Amino acid sequence: MKVSLIQTNPNTDRDANLRITRELMECAIATDSPDLLVLPEYFEFYGGTLADKLAAAEPLPGGAAYAMVQEVAREHGVYVHAGSLLERIAEDERRIYNTSVVFDRRGREITRYRKIHMFDITSPDGTAYKESDSVKPGEEVVVYELDGFKVGCGICYDIRFAELFLALADQRVDLIVLPAAFTLQTGKDHWEVLSRARAIETQTYFAACGQWGTHFDNGEPRQTFGHSLVCDPWGHVIAKASDGVGFVTARVDRDVLERTRTSIPIHTHRRLAHH
């Protein structure tokens, strides 16, 4: 199975974000013929004020981003793991869900995952992030099937919580997909090492698809790290995007999965409960 990660630099112009994202998706399809396309976190809209985010959120199914991704999946016969969308919550006017939506080759929605862990941190340069002010956490661990492979879901800050990935490993997933908007400050030190660790401990392929570049949050410039990458189950980085907007493609190989799990059968050796 071939997986292409689309790396974009979204801002608060949804029409431009969707146009650029679609162009990159179609370029990846024409160039690499992937089975699965992965988009970054909040590929449709990023930055602005809290009021901007709440106003931009749309119910799912519905909205321009949902429709665009669905159309690409159907027109090109490709699975799309649509990074994350701002999902409006009918019963909560103050918060949204940060939601991945997955479409099959016919453009049908097959699952959605709502980000569980909220990014409420202070980065090394003193910048404060408080995702829980505007986002309601999800609660479900989500796995879906894709042409005989089992795929697990995470989003961005989730990467730091090993228990989520052990729960996915318990379900014997083959690939974990993690859309992200990792900050430059944390990304330069933690992005690759965490991705590799998650791949090694779960013995899966790990596809981490990041935003790259500058956006403005409440008028303040902020940087995302990019470096979208795929790790194999041994922890090798087998594909990585350069700085800038673009895409990168890797192969998920069933033989590599089986060889890794047979040589070090950690699934049968685990002794401590982790639930």
pLDDT of residue 123: 83
Percentage, residues of the chain above pLDDT 90: 92
Q: Which domains does the chain have, with CATH numbers?
A: 2-269 (3.60.110.10)
Q: How confident is the model at residue 275 (pLDDT cuts 50, 70, 90)?
A: low
**Tokens 């370029």 belong to residue:** 27
**Whether 174 contacts 205, CB under 8 Å:** yes
Q: Residue 68 burial (CB < 10 Å; 0-12/13-18/19+)? A: buried
Q: How confident is the model at residue 191 (pLDDT cuts 50, 70, 90)?
A: very high
Instruction: Tell me what the mean pLDDT of segment 91-114 comes to.
Output: 97
Q: Which residues are catalytic?
A: 41, 115, 156
Percentage, residues of the chain above pLDDT 70: 99
- Angle at the Cα of 135 from the Cα atoms of 133 and 140, rounded to 5 degrees: 140
User: What's the predicted TM-score (pTM) here?
Assistant: 0.97
Q: Indicate the SS3 state at residue 250.
A: strand
pLDDT of residue 209: 98
pLDDT in tens, 138-161: 999 999 999 999 999 999 999 999
In whole angstroms, give the CA distance from residue 154 to residue 139: 12
